[in-house]
Structure 1
């Protein structure tokens, strides 16, 4: 009976052995990266394949220096050839395949092909790769035996002011609680705070925290974060210490609508001011026909009828020029009238001559 059971088990094992050899790697075993070549020179290309990654996830594929699978990439993506990196999206089964040009990283080897998620949950994998002809230097020694880890979720504190609405740099404070898991005291640790827009690599800035953390102790750390002027959109704030990313925090920055309002007002005010200035210049240089100024000869103002002025000779001056001590017959004006010759009385004694009496 026992012999028959052993024979049956052996037959089942032989039947299931090929299926077990070809079975896909489950996502529980972690992401896996394989290379078509383990060594290549600058200008060559390699094929990077992977499995066990989250489905429908965007990945970044880079060649990084000063890195090992055990310690990761020392210095972060600043040690990678970012200009020649490639992006790839995993399939529904978590697999991918992408060609990658070989280029020298900005730091010496040991080198790896670094694959990390650009969206979604944080996940990364490194595979040893040799860049032919590139310099090789040993990795820097780890400083001390203190190890810091973030104990609580990070958060961003602060709010935007009125100046930020007009394009001023947005500022926040990255707050987190860190604990010392090592065996020595960590004094004045230097953290790296990076901000990344979309799928781009973060720009790291060093932030030193003043204080000491004893082994097994913890401390609340608050570090300033500042973006560039006019920044808006979805950003990711990352915290790194000792070459390892400890935490990430999303940050949605609103659009500075004050700048847009300023340009709209500028487009309305400037044309209106130019129009007013032009109308003032035209009104200044055009000929005027104001009241009290004689219009040029031949010019006739429309809407007005020209009325002839009364001649001065038509105005009677007899009453106005008669003096009170003269009678109408003896006034100075009658002398000429009496001195004129008369045809009916040529010999009148009262008639003066032509030259007067």
Structure 2
């Protein structure tokens, strides 16, 4: 009896464990194609399930890739110009028609689907591109591993156009070393830029060169933000899924754009006002009868008095001009008088000559 009870308990525990395991199992994203082979210029329907709801995905045709190894060389091996974007539904599924284009590298080819923002997730489906060359995949890396040996820094400065909204750009400089047992050839880094608390946007940057085991090298990778970007940003560098470094970046506000809009708000109303006044002046009705408006009289200038010919001493006030004589009156005579004498009082001393008195003995 005791053994039966123990057996029943063991069976129940195993069943509960299996149910719990199925409940916590995480569904991996899956990609399916409507056709396994298509020629360049055709289309295939790409369907997927198991993705996060309301997530933006990028769908690309990539060469030198297999579902087991992924895309060798990153998106540099994909036909990026013919890619398509799609957003998953509330159930994490999607369906999108994709034009078939030849990737820049030989096949084997896949349709590569990856998330654009948020936590990274990707899936591949095999696609044979008819007429595209096929080449074997490169050998796997032989145990190389990168490590950062110095502090990262952002070098360079923005030009004057950045003050007017041009994309800010810098160069991420760091020293890396190979701590593995095999060489690393042409490593592909992922450089992400995040604004505040938002998820980073990743761009792939390939460093050309071979790093032998135990060697180090200085790596310089360009970093660029979108036009008009400003505020606090974080630059993240990772390789093969491992985050190698993070570097803050404070971007100033493009005040030139604000100044431009202020001037525009001042100039445009002034120009419209002047244009409106010109139109009003042109369409304004004339006076009744068609009589044109009389011109303004010219301003008359006051006549200047003639200066006296007799110049006084320097600094003296100018002498007043002589009073004009009346035509019927002269200061020396009274018209119509019998004697013609002057009306002014007579002064003998002023009119009679002075007779000298003879001097002699008395």
Normalization by structure 2: what TM-score?
0.55
* Closer/same/farther in 2, CA of residues 232 and 38 from structure 1, 3 Å limit: farther
Cα distance in 2 for partners of 1:318, 1:21 equals 136
* Closer/same/farther in 2, CA of residues 37 and 262 from structure 1, 3 Å limit: closer
* Closer/same/farther in 2, CA of residues 278 and 75 from structure 1, 3 Å limit: same
* Closer/same/farther in 2, CA of residues 169 and 291 from structure 1, 3 Å limit: same
Cα distance in 2 for partners of 1:126, 1:138 equals 22
* Closer/same/farther in 2, CA of residues 287 and 43 from structure 1, 3 Å limit: same
> Is 1:126 aligned to residue 134 of structure 2?
no
TM-superposed deviation, 1:132: 5.6
- Indicate conservation of the 8 Å contact 2:82/2:99, yes or no: no
* Closer/same/farther in 2, CA of residues 232 and 83 from structure 1, 3 Å limit: farther
In structure 1, list runs of 5 or more residues that go unmatched.
295-316, 332-357
Normalization by structure 1: what TM-score?
0.56
CA deviations over 1:300-352 (Å, ceiling 9, x no partner): xxxxxxxxxxxxxxxxx984553456542269xxxxxxxxxxxxxxxxxxxxx
* Closer/same/farther in 2, CA of residues 33 and 234 from structure 1, 3 Å limit: farther
Alignment match, 1:337? none
CA deviations over 1:123-157 (Å, ceiling 9, x no partner): 33333422463525124525975735354899663
Alignment match, 1:73? 71
Counterpart secondary structure, 1:137: coil
Give the number of equivalent residue pairs: 291
Counterpart secondary structure, 1:329: coil
Counterpart secondary structure, 1:130: strand
TM-superposed deviation, 1:268: 0.8
RMSD: 5.4
* 2:169 corresponds to which of 151, 168, 171: 171
> Is 1:329 aligned to residue 336 of structure 2?
yes
- Indicate conservation of the 8 Å contact 2:175/2:219, yes or no: yes
Alignment match, 1:103? 99
TM-superposed deviation, 1:275: 6.2
Cα distance in 2 for partners of 1:228, 1:83 equals 22
TM-superposed deviation, 1:261: 1.8
- Indicate conservation of the 8 Å contact 1:113/1:129, yes or no: yes
Cα distance in 2 for partners of 1:115, 1:205 equals 19
Cα distance in 1 for partners of 2:250, 2:301 equals 70
Alignment match, 1:256? 254
In structure 2, list runs of 5 or more residues that go unmatched.
282-292, 303-323, 339-362
- Indicate conservation of the 8 Å contact 2:53/2:92, yes or no: no
Alignment match, 1:31? 28
TM-superposed deviation, 1:166: 2.7
- Indicate conservation of the 8 Å contact 2:66/2:110, yes or no: yes
* Closer/same/farther in 2, CA of residues 161 and 47 from structure 1, 3 Å limit: closer
- Indicate conservation of the 8 Å contact 1:195/1:235, yes or no: no
Cα distance in 1 for partners of 2:199, 2:107 equals 26
CA deviations over 1:9-60 (Å, ceiling 9, x no partner): 99769x949x669935723xx834253657254434243222xx6x557251
